[in-house]
Amino acid sequence: MGEDVDSRFIRKLEELAGHYQILMDRMADSSVAADPTKSLKISREMGRLKRLVEPFEGFRTVQDQLADARALSADPAQDAELRELASEEIPPLEEEYERRLESLKETLVTSEDVAVSSVLLEIRAGTGGEEAALFARDLYEMYLRYCEKKRFKVEVLDQQGSDMGGLKEATLSVKGEGVYLHLGYEGGGHRVQRVPETEAQGRIHTSAATVAILPEPEEINLDINWDTQVKEFVSRAGGPGGQNVNKVSSAIRLEHLETGITVSMRDEKSQHKNRAKARRVLLTRLYEHHHRAQQQARDAQRRIMIGSGDRSQRIRTYNFPQNRCTDHRIGLSLHYLDRIMQGDLDELLAALQTYDKEQRLKNL
C-alpha cells in the first residue's frame, strides 16, 4: 500500500474515533439514558466502533513513539549515545507500526461482515433438469461439510427433493461467529461441467444452480399484519417425485401482497412449525427487500458481488473432468475440486477475502 492510501485510511479511523467520542457524550446525556430505544441503538453502534477505536488508540501510541524515536535519532543537538539508542528503537517500532496498521485495515473492512452471525443460505437448481438438481444437492452437501468444519450451527428450514435424489431447492439457517464473512461470497450462479449420471454416452454436460446469502438480522423491526398483508395457502406436503409424505395439510405458502414475495415451507410434518419457519424466512426477505438500497450502497464499494444474492451472475465453474474449480470474479483456478466438494473451501474463500479487502481499501 502506498503512503497516500495509508494516509486516507488513518484519516478515516480518526473520523470514526471522533464519532465514537460523540456517541459517548450522547450516552452521558440524561434524556438519552431515560430512553431505552435510543440508548440501545447508541450502545450497539458504540460496540461496533469499539472494535476499531480501541486498537486504533494503541496504534497511535506506537505511531507517536516511532515519530519521537526518529526525531531524536536525527537531532544533532542530542547526545550521540542517546541518538544511537533511539536509532536502535526504530526498526522494532516500524515493524509494530506495520503490524498494527494491517490489523486495523483487516478490522475496518470486515467489521460490518463480522457483526453478522446468522444468514439464510438458499440453494436452487437452475438450468439442466435432473442433473442441475443433483448438482444443487452436491453444493448443499459441500456447504454442510464446510459449516461442520467451522463449527457453524446449521438448521435446515426447508428442502424439496427431485426424482433421482437431487434437490430442487433448499433453505438453511447458518449461525456462527463471523459466518457472513465466510459465506457472504457464495451468492450467485454456480455452473457445473461433468458427465451426468443420466448420460449413457459419456458426454460432458453443463448445468447450473444458484445460491443466495441473506444476512439474518438479530432484530427485524417490520410491522406486519399477518391476517391482512399476507395471504396463506395450505396444502399437503409433497416428497421427491410428487408423492405425499403425509396426508395432513401441513405445507405452507405465504405471499406478501404488497411486494409479491412468496415463501413455501414443507419440510416439517407440523403445519404450525412450517408456518413459523415460513414467517421467519419471509421476514428476512422483506427486510432485505426494504434495505436493498442501503445494501447496494454498501456493495458499491466492492468490485465483486458479495452477499447481494444476485443469482444471475455466474461466479464459479466446477469442472469435474479436469478436477478444477474456477472463481470468475478473481480469475482463480484450483485443481482439487474433489477436496472442495468435501468442504475444503478455505484457500478459495481466503483469496476472495484478500481481494475484497484490497478493493474496499482502495475505495475508502
Q: Given this model, what pLDDT does residue 292 score?
A: 65
Query: What is the SS3 assignment for 213?
Result: strand
How far is the CA of 177 from the CAs of 151, 154, 329, in angstroms? 9, 13, 25
Q: Given this model, what pLDDT does residue 340 score?
A: 97
Residue with the three cell numbers 473492512: 109
**What is residue 310's DSSP assignment?**
-
What's the CA gap between 157 and 327, in Å, rounded? Answer: 28
**What is residue 223's DSSP assignment?**
-
pLDDT in tens, 70-91: 999 998 888 888 899 989 999 9
Q: Given this model, what pLDDT does residue 38 score?
A: 82
In the sheet that holds 230-235, the strands lie side by side as 230-235, 251-256, 262-265
Residues in the chain where the model's pLDDT stays below 50 = 1-2, 240-246, 301-309
Q: Given this model, what pLDDT does residue 349 score?
A: 94
What's the CA gap between 229 and 259, in Å, rounded? Answer: 10
117 residue type, one letter:
S
Q: Given this model, what pLDDT does residue 364 score?
A: 65
pLDDT in tens, 311-356: 567 899 999 999 999 999 899 999 999 999 999 999 999 999 888 8
Q: Given this model, what pLDDT does residue 57 score?
A: 92
Instruction: Determine contact, residues 220/287, Cβ cutoff 8 Å.
Output: yes
